[in-house]
Amino acid sequence: MEEKNYKQKHIQLPSGEIYAEYVLNDKPPILLLHGFVSSTYTFHQLMPLLKEKFSVIAIDLIGFGKSEKSTSFIYSYANYAKLIKECMDYFDIKKISIAGHSMGGQIALYTAKQYPEKIDRLVLLASSGYLPRAKKRLIFVSYLPFFHLFARRHVQKQGVASTLKNVLYNQEYITPELIDAYGAPLKEKNFYKALIRLLRYREGDLNQEALNQIKQPALLIWGKEDKVVSLRVGMQLEKDLPHATLISYPDTGHLVTEERPEEVYRDIISFIKH
């Protein structure tokens, strides 16, 4: 197990209890947001690098990782953006940059849209983009009493190792430790009830018109071999965000933080320091 030389704490926010890992100092603040069916572990290689140059906060979103699996929280992107603001208020941070991976990137965009005065810069790491809301039929069946058990069986049938093969270009990164770390959140039964609520309440991703209104500088980082969110999505986001720059890494899949932590760190430093 990796030794974590930063604080780990459950904090109570108005929207619910979340788990946070953080290092606070006098350096520029950056918030790290994980993606779908993930946790702060997404940044286990990146955070030790970032803490040398930033005040860093990584959180498990409500419904994921070690955070609360609330049955009253409305699992929408707009509500997650509100959660980010609450987190900033808790740490008494007036303005922050956000680095979001996959779904976390979309939440970062929603936060910039809802609270533009709170967000300094955006780093979108293989961010989801242009996905519509779930179909009405799927939303309807999500209300069936045992649908969360179906979701659990579906996720567990796919398997963590198989999922990692899909998100990593270099298969040598797949170790028993990595499988255990990414699989741990899936073992909690209440996670699947939260997952169903996200399916039910999640809005569609921001459209072109909404993206055009986001004025913060944005750095888009992609793996050229991403099988989950194609590089084409990054290219379209670069066009639709007024102040965006796209960087892509060769021989890299969706999980850029796992395969290219040093490069991601280098590019974030260059982006935020200038």
Catalytic residues: 102, 254
CB atoms within 10 A of CB 35: 27
Tokens 């209104």 -> residue: 213
Cα 30 off chain centre by: 13
Residue 231 CA: distances (Å) to CA of 11, 45, 226: 36, 23, 7
SS3 for 197-243 is HHHHHCCCCCCHHHHHCCCCCEEEEEECCCCCCCHHHHHHHHHHCCC
Residues in the chain: 274
Angle (CA) 266-210-101 rounded to 5° is 30
CB neighbour list of residue 208: distance below 8 Å, 6 or more residues apart: 240
Cα dihedral value 58, 262, 171, 44, nearest 10: -20
Q: Could you give the C-alpha distances from 171 to 131, 174, 231, 258, in angstroms and in order?
A: 28, 6, 20, 11
